[in-house]
Amino acid sequence: MTSPSDADSERTRLVTLAMRVIERAGENITRAALAKEARMPRARIDAIFDSEDALFDAILEKWYAPDIAIMEEVVASDLPIRRKFYEFFARRFARQRARFRKDPAAFAVYCEVGTDNFENVSGYIDLADHYLAELIAQAQEEGHFAGLGINRALSLINQMVVCYTLPQMLMILVEDKLEEDKLATIIDTLFDGLSGEARGAAPVAGLRIA
Amino acid sequence: MTSPSDADSERTRLVTLAMRVIERAGENITRAALAKEARMPRARIDAIFDSEDALFDAILEKWYAPDIAIMEEVVASDLPIRRKFYEFFARRFARQRARFRKDPAAFAVYCEVGTDNFENVSGYIDLADHYLAELIAQAQEEGHFAGLGINRALSLINQMVVCYTLPQMLMILVEDKLEEDKLATIIDTLFDGLSGEARGAAPVAGLRIA
């Protein structure tokens, strides 16, 4: 019999192996391919990952675990709210950039696999939104982002910091244009400028451009 | 002999044909393929487009011409500066979204071809930056974006509105999250919040998160 902790470590070992194969092959891995790589019977793999989705979810879990730890730590911290916002984005950005710099080709593969399996990834995006909504609620209690519903503020903030959250940006943009001190300026801009009040940018109905 | 205006219309006709082929084939077109499509001698095509790059540049010129017209019109208008900023981004976004909605597959092809030929595209990005720098200078004369150099302001603003400028965003994000009234809020946020002054988001040296 395999003890629970042996099963855990075998699962962890297989996920690590699967990620190495993904990075090498440049595409997602099936349970059949994993069995072959691990030189294990397919039935054993299937007992650990009861579907292709379960294997992919285990890979995602490992990929996102440090990000979740960052978000939980920042939300629970007693930093001032602006500092929380900055750390919430900056730490995950720094981690993402380190991964990208370490192996740009492997990073590109994960972006592609993630895009192809968006259903599986979306739970993690929802979780990040959940934590950000907590921070927004706290900021609103302190008088920021006036006149905006939480979901509206969430969408606007996500759009304004997307360069520092969306992994693809490290590949689309010139990576060295993304800098922590720009992110800090963007966070300060949000805190001092974001509200629900219309202040002149939007067109006034009935007026047309000269 | 071919008169200059005949040559112009033949060139225009060939560029239109080349774009149809790109959309259909899902990849960039060579002069050889264009000659075949147009049932014209290769030498005639080469006389009009003296390199593969020249053909691609002619396609880009047609793709970007309406955007350039929008930027020139907005910069030259007598709208208040906030309205100028909004129109500068909103009109090009609306045009891009219309292209995307009309034919998402063809739009994806242009994004890919553009990425693969970034050298050719970069001149247009520089041109958009040039016009935006003019608007930033005008805003700064009116007291906005204090304490920021033009290039710094340009980079920060480009990052904060990237959802509405980068074509890939229409494919990466759920397209209906992008709305003109959110863009207007982002512009108002920039005008009321963007400055070079550090206001608490950035970490203070020597302090660590609790």
> Tens digits of per-residue pLDDT, A85-144?
999 999 999 999 999 999 999 999 999 999 999 999 999 999 999 999 999 999 999 999
Report pLDDT for B210.
47
What is the CB neighbour count within 10 angstroms for residue A123?
Answer: 11
The number of angstroms, rounded, from the C-alpha of B59 to the middle of its chain's C-alpha atoms is 14
Burial class (CB in 10 A: 0-12, 13-18, 19+), B93: buried
- What are the pLDDT digits (tens) for B60-89? 999 999 999 999 999 999 999 999 999 999
CB–CB contact B87 A160 (8 Å): no
CB–CB contact B189 A87 (8 Å): no
CB–CB contact A159 B166 (8 Å): no
DSSP result, A46-60: HHHSSSHHHHHHHHH
- What are the pLDDT digits (tens) for A179-203? 999 999 999 999 999 999 999 999 9
Residue (of A167, A151, A158, A156) closest to A95 by Cα position:
A167
| Nearest-angstrom CA–CA distance, A54 and A49 | 5
Residue (of A166, A167, A157, A163) closest to A189 by Cα position:
A157
| Whole-number average pLDDT of chain A | 93
Report pLDDT for A210.
47
- What are the pLDDT digits (tens) for B136-182? 999 999 999 999 999 999 999 999 999 999 999 998 887 779 999 99
CB–CB contact B193 A191 (8 Å): yes
> For residue A166, which residues of chain B lie inside 8 Å, CB to CB?
172
Q: Which DSSP category does A167 fall into?
A: T
Residue (of A91, A180, A77, A192) closest to A135 by Cα position:
A77
Report pLDDT for A209.
52
Residue (of B108, B47, B106, B107) closest to B14 by Cα position:
B47
- Residue B35 and residue B42 in contact, taking contact as beta carbons nearer than 8 Å: yes
> For residue A196, which residues of chain B lie inside 8 Å, CB to CB?
185
